[in-house]
Amino acid sequence: MASSFHSKGLILHCLILALSIGFSTLHASEPPLTLDYYKSTCPTMLEIVRKEMECAVLSDPRNAALILRLHFHDCFVQGCDGSVLLDDTITLQGEKKAPNNINALKGFRIIDRIKNRLESECPETVSCADILTVAARDAVLLVGGPYWDVPLGRKDSKTAGYALTETNLPTADEGLLSIISKFLYQGLSVTDMVALSGAHTIGMARCVNFRNRIYGDFVATSGFNNPLSQQYLSSLKSVCPPVKGSDNNESAMDYVSPNLFDNSYYQILLRGEGLINSDQELYSSILAIETKKLVAKYAENPIAFFEQFSESMVKMGNITNPETYVNGEVRKNCRSYVYNV
Please check if 200 is assigned to a binding site.
yes
Q: Which of 13, 27, 71, 73 is catalytic?
A: 73
> Residue 323 has what DSSP assignment?
T
> Residue 27 has what DSSP assignment?
T
Please check if 27 is assigned to a binding site.
no
Closest CA to 291 of 16, 6, 65, 7: 16
Please check if 262 is assigned to a binding site.
yes
Please check if 156 is assigned to a binding site.
no
Taken in order 17, 276, 163, 96, the sign of the CA dihedral is negative
Please check if 74 is assigned to a binding site.
yes
Please check if 300 is assigned to a binding site.
no
116, 105 contact by CB (below 8 A) = no
Per-residue buried b or exposed e for 271-291, using 16+ beta carbons within 10 Å of the residue's own CB:
bbbbbbbbbbbbbbbebbbbb
User: Cβ–Cβ contacts within 10 Å for residue 297, how many?
Assistant: 16
E strands in the chain:
204-206, 250-252
Please check if 6 is assigned to a binding site.
no
Compute CA distances 114 → 20, 61, 79, 126, 300, whole Å: 37, 17, 21, 10, 37
Return the bridge partners of 152, or none. 34
Please check if 83 is assigned to a binding site.
yes
* Chain CA centroid to CA 203, Å: 11
* Chain CA centroid to CA 311, Å: 14
Q: Is 27 a catalytic residue?
A: no
User: Cβ–Cβ contacts within 10 Å for residue 269, how many?
Assistant: 29
Binding site for Ca(2+): what residues are annotated? Answer: 74, 77, 79, 81, 83, 95, 201, 254, 262
The annotation places the binding site for substrate at 170
Residues at the binding site for heme b are: 200
Active site residues: 73
Annotated binding site: 74, 77, 79, 81, 83, 95, 170, 200-201, 254, 262
